[in-house]
Amino acid sequence: MAEPSTTTPCVVCGRVPTRAESIRRHVGMIVMQRFVKLKQPLCREHGIEVTNTYLRKTLIEGWWGFVSFFLNFFTVGNDLVVLFRYRALDEPQPLAGGAPAPAPTPAQAAPPTPTAAPGWHPDPSGRFEHRWHDGQNWTSNVATRGQQYDDPAPG
């Protein structure tokens, strides 16, 4: 039986206190017994969560083999004890003295839209060869074959 730790953070959420209990999962099969064992520091919340998951999986998957029937009592019994121990842990807290949880990076401010240099560009309306863009907006200044015209700026 592991002692609760106030310095080893939960592998899931990084909070303390934690226990590193041997949560067992038994998958019984006719020809093979498969044990899955987890031993990681977990806080109360995640210890209960993981133990419950393992218990459920053992109860659902573990009854296949006749032999595993007996082993299941051991596995389920172990996990019920573990569950009890996790329930006895204190509410999870941020790890004292540890690095604070990294603050979410604020979304990068969108870079300012680069202002295009004013100039003649292919007329987006297609009516003329070129249209003068003043760097911010299309203008009514258009040109075809060197001849300038006035045409209402598109949209």
Q: Which of 46, 85, 131, 133 binds Zn ion (CB under 5 A)?
A: 46
Distance of CA 83 to the CA centre of its chain: 26
Q: Which of 5, 8, 13, 49 binds Zn ion (CB under 5 A)?
A: 13
Asked if residue 20 binds Zn ion (CB under 5 A), the reply is no
Q: How far is the CB of 11 from Zn ion (least distance, A)?
A: 8
Q: Which is nearer to Zn ion, 27 or 43 (CB)?
A: 43
- Please identify, among the stretches 1-9, 10-18, 54-62, 78-86, the one whose residues bind Zn ion according to the rule CB under 5 A: 10-18
Asked if residue 43 binds Zn ion (CB under 5 A), the reply is yes
Q: Pairing relation of β-strands 93-94 and 15-16?
A: antiparallel
Distance of CA 154 to the CA centre of its chain: 45
- Among 105, 99, 106, 49, residue whose Cα is nearest residue 79: 49
Residues in CB range of 19: below 8 A, 6 or more apart: 2, 3, 4, 5, 41, 42, 47, 85, 86, 89
- Please identify, among the stretches 12-20, 54-62, 68-76, 146-154, the one whose residues bind Zn ion according to the rule CB under 5 A: 12-20
Residues forming contacts to Zn ion in the complex (CB under 5 A) are 10, 12-13, 43, 46
